[in-house]
Chain A
Amino acid sequence: MFFIKELTHTILLHPSYFGPRMLQFLESKLYADVEGTCSGAFGYIIAVVSILDIGKGMVISGSGQAEFVTRYRAIVFKPFKGEVVDGVVNNVNKMGFFADVGPLQVFVSHQLIHPDMKFDPNSNPPSFASEDQIIEKNTRVRLKIVGTRVDATEIFAIGTIKEDHLGVID
């Protein structure tokens, strides 16, 4: 699910940047620091929509650097267990398939695919196929997230299409 969320980010600024162009520098630093990052608590931070408050800037005693606590509003994407999402298949192998849901990669194991759909090792590109449906690269699927694992820089999810109203969408 995509959310719009208020977040904070702390920027440490070296004294050599104190000067007339400091605000512009802080803004571009904020964009560069947070856009495209991922954390367990907030999910993927996709884009900063607006900066609410760039912060006052406290000079830290001892180092001379200034600390700015900026508040900004961003589009974030976080997957939840039990959520149903649409995705695009990007890789199929005999273990199952991977689907892209925005920045997130979801793995659907062959055990969580309807038993009618069989892996066809001879097809090119590789596919899961039943009599009337086929899952191959670039097929759009509707899947349900059954679990997520958070890494330092990425989230991985496990999905299922073995339920009513899930599977290939046209």
Chain B
Amino acid sequence: MSTRLRHRTHGEEEDASALKLGAEFNNAGCLLISEVKYLLENRDKDAPDTAVYNKTLEYVKTFAKFNTTDSASAVRETLRREPALTQFETAQIANLCPGTAEEAKSVVPSLVKIDDDKLQTLLDEIQTMRKFQS
């Protein structure tokens, strides 16, 4: 009985829309899809032949929004200017690249704490970077 109860409360704790990622991940470093792509493609070891690895590699190749390390770190730099953003929110914005503040708040609900105009400026900058990356 007690284990079941503990299990349930644990399940309720995790909710990305309220930024609750559980004890293990609340302070863990989030990676952008573009960064994962860079890390996987520049491994000094041979790629392991696991289904998980291959599927992930295919996924990050499909959805990486920034194809150079420079543009990915420039995006991080831009988002760092807004101190209220958590790691998770930073990564979500950079991975999904929402066009408007309204869309951003809809896909990442915890962004309500940020002023629309401020958020829109950040999003516009990211869109520009995406457009002009080499």
Q: Which of B24, B25, B45, B63 contacts A31 (CB 8 A)?
A: B45
Measured CB to CB, the closest approach of chain A to B54, in angstroms, equals 9
Residues of B within 8 A of A37 (CB): 52
Complex: how many Å from CA A58 to CA B90?
42
Contact A38 B103 (CB under 8 A): no
* B84, CB-defined interface residue at 8 Å: no
A38 to chain B, nearest CB (A): 7
* A80-113 to B contact mask, C-beta < 8 Å, 1/0: 1111101010000000000011110000000000
> What residue in chain B is nearest A49 (Cβ atoms)?
B39
Interface residue? A71 (CB, 8 A):
no
A5 part of interface (Cβ distance < 8 Å)? yes
Bound CA span A65–B59, Å: 40
Q: A142 near B48 (CB under 8 angstroms)?
A: no
Q: A41 on the interface (CB 8 Å rule)?
A: yes
Interface range on chain A: under 10, 10 to 19, 20 to 34, or 35 or more? 35 or more
- Looking at the assembled complex, report how far the CB atom of B36 sits from the nearest CB atom of chain A, in whole angstroms: 5
Known: A1-B88, A36-B48, A82-B15. A164 touches B106 (CB 8 A): yes
Cα A75 to Cα B45 in complex, Å, equals 15
How many A-B residue pairs lie within 8 Å, measured between CB atoms? 111
Q: Is A134 located at the chain interface by the 8 A CB criterion?
A: no
Interface string of A35-67 (1 = CB under 8 A from B): 111100110111101000000000000000000
From known contacts A81-B16, A102-B60, A103-B55, infer whether A86 and B96 are also in contact, taking CB-CB under 8 Å. yes
Residues of B within 8 A of A (CB): 14-18, 21, 24-25, 28-33, 35-36, 39-40, 43, 45, 48, 50-53, 55-56, 59-60, 62-63, 88, 91-92, 95-96, 98, 103, 106-109
Q: Which residue numbers of A lie inside 8 Å of B, CB to CB?
A: 1-5, 31-32, 35-38, 41-42, 44-47, 49, 75, 77-78, 80-84, 86, 88, 100-103, 140, 142, 144-145, 163-166
**Apart from A35-B50, A47-B39, A88-B59: 4 A-B pairs, beta carbons within 8 A:** A2-B32, A31-B45, A84-B96, A103-B59
